[in-house]
Amino acid sequence: MEYALVTGGSRGIGKAVAIKLASMGWPVVINYRGNTQAAEATKSEIEALGGRVELLPFDCGSESAIESALALFEEQHPDDYIGVLVNNAGIRKDNLMIFMQNDEWHQVMDTSLNAFFYITRRLLKNMLTHRHGRIINMTSLSGVKGMPGQTNYSAAKGAIISATKALAQEVAKRKVTVNAVAPGFISTDMTSDLDEKELSKLIPLGRFGRPEEVANVVGFLASSEADYITGQCIQVNGGLY
């Protein structure tokens, strides 16, 4: 059986992606770090819709935690593999660079960029062996244009866009596609501290996006309808550049 893994899948965009993939028939594995209540609630919501879902808690900022959790999944599913990987987990530690602390830099890099490397590398072999896979990397408007106060976040997300383009060329012959999705301002817990009313004035469509609008793009990229799309970064930003 082919599973879909969504990192940071208990809330926000990750939750919407997990629900979307489950609605398309994928058995979904939801990764989360510490919010068990939110993860269980998302699991229940998917099950109520008739979907199959499992929880796989681990810290995406820890190489050893990633390795242990994925090894456990493979041990429990010897005849299955993860064929759809959505690298969604990420954190913000905003600060002007002149005031930015080392841990604010490293925590963002560990959870976004390094997690992409460790998780993708770990799961790639099975995709290549089965000659089918979908890797979808959640990046950001910050990674496309850069955002002041987010040098760390912009650096991590920008690097993922470049890595997406490089990896796509490495694995295309084995029918594994690699794409990125770059949301703009989306109404989630992660943006709850922002001034939505003022920032919406900068967006041509005049509003923040909804998590489901990002999830719909992920669902398309995971489907057979996107067989000929790889190495791309699709922006979901209401026209804000």
* Catalytic residue set: 153
**The token pair that represents 175 in the structure block:** 């029918």
Q: Kindly list the distances between the CA atom of residue 42 and the CA atoms of 14, 19, 66, 89, in Å, as whole numbers in the listed order.
A: 10, 8, 21, 16
Give the rounded distance of the alpha carbon of 77 from its chain centre. 23
Residues listed for the chain:
241
Closest CA to 7 of 57, 41, 47: 57
Euclidean distance between CA atoms 91 and 73, whole angstroms: 24
Helix (H, G, I), strand (E, B) or coil at 209: strand
